[in-house]
Amino acid sequence: MDAKAVKGAVGSTVGKTLLQYVKWEHLAAGISGGVVATLVLHPLDLVKIRFQVNEGIGITNRPQYKGMLDALRSICRTNGFAGLYQGVTPNVWGAGSSWGLYFFFYNNIKTWMQGGDAKYALGPGKHIVAASEAGLLTLILTNPLWVAKTRLCLQYESAGTTSKGVYYNGTVDALLKIYRMEGVRGLYKGFVPGVFGISHGAIQFMIYEEMKNKYNMHFNRSVDTRLTSLEYLTFAAVSKTIAASVTYPYQVLRTRLQDQHRSYNGVMDVIKQILKYEGLMGFFKGLVPGLIRVTPACCITFVVYENLITVFQKYGRN
């Protein structure tokens, strides 16, 4: 057999091996966790996004808030309780598909790295590699939904349209108008800082997995031993808080690039303007509502996910 044939045979074997470890229950469990968390905590996400773009210059007709509670009251007072769920549809789509795809890719890659042996502990380095690959694949597939979510969350009561007179009437309408007016490039605004943001998930999953492994090993148990909801809750909260605090600035950059009320000439332009007009603290705008939202959201997602996986395993679907 010549070299070309050998290479083809090896590639075929690797492809079958990867497919062998595909488990769709991770996708279903991830989607469920992401949807539940989003429905419960979307108002805080709305406030975080509005704080992130409030640069204090240029856009004078943005609503001004004195703090998180003032923002929630103001939005509710102007548009009613439903106003707190502005942009919730793409957020549900985005969070559901993102968590589902992330868990799906991550667990399949991790299982492939383990050779199908769930009792084999990968270590921090391989956890980061698996999480980074899963993050990139997820970002490529879901970025348009995050652009639509940001645009809908930034349709203010006093400035619903952009300078071009564009109004988005729902998720599908937003996606179609963005594509028609800005092309594929418009659907992928904020992609570059999103790539940097892959480190967020990589750090989070590395810490989460290592805590679970060390915890089980401390009690002389196999690393794949199922834990209680409280234990999953604790590990998810700690890992998410650390990851969110360390990588938060990329979220501000991403949101500003997706903002329909302002135009920037790329990531470096956003960074320069924030430094010039707002200083270093400008990169952390919206951090408080972000942490208040993201930590319980992550906890809800992980607890729903882990418990559904336990159910799948119990009934022999894993």
pLDDT band at 1 (very low <50, low <70, confident <90, very high): very low
Considering the domain boundaries, does residue 33 fall inside one?
A: no
Q: How many domains does the chain have?
A: 1
Considering the domain boundaries, does residue 293 fall inside one?
A: yes
Considering the domain boundaries, does residue 9 fall inside one?
A: no
3-state secondary structure of 260: coil
Considering the domain boundaries, does residue 30 fall inside one?
A: no
Residue 54 confidence (pLDDT): 81
Residue 229 near residue 303 (C-beta atoms within 8 A): yes
**Dist. CA 226–CA 300, nearest whole Å:** 17
Residue 202 near residue 130 (C-beta atoms within 8 A): no
Considering the domain boundaries, does residue 18 fall inside one?
A: no
Considering the domain boundaries, does residue 202 fall inside one?
A: yes
Considering the domain boundaries, does residue 16 fall inside one?
A: no
CATH number at residue 202: 1.50.40.10
Q: Is the pLDDT of residue 222 over 80?
A: yes
Residue 14 confidence (pLDDT): 44
Burial 186-220 (b: 16+ CB within 10 A, else e): bbbbbbbbbbebbbbbbbbbbbbbbbbbebbeeee
Radius of gyration of the chain from its Cα atoms, rounded to whole angstroms: 21
- pLDDT tens-place string over residues 279-295: 999 999 988 888 888 77
- pLDDT tens-place string over residues 190-218: 998 888 888 888 898 899 989 999 999 99
Q: What does the angle CA 255 – CA 288 – CA 155 come to, to the nearest 5 degrees? A: 40
Considering the domain boundaries, does residue 122 fall inside one?
A: yes
Domain of 241 in residue numbering reads as 40-314
Who contacts 309 (Cβ-Cβ below 8 Å, separation ≥6)? 25, 26, 29, 318
Q: What is the dihedral of CA 32, 36, 39, 45, to 10 degrees?
A: -90
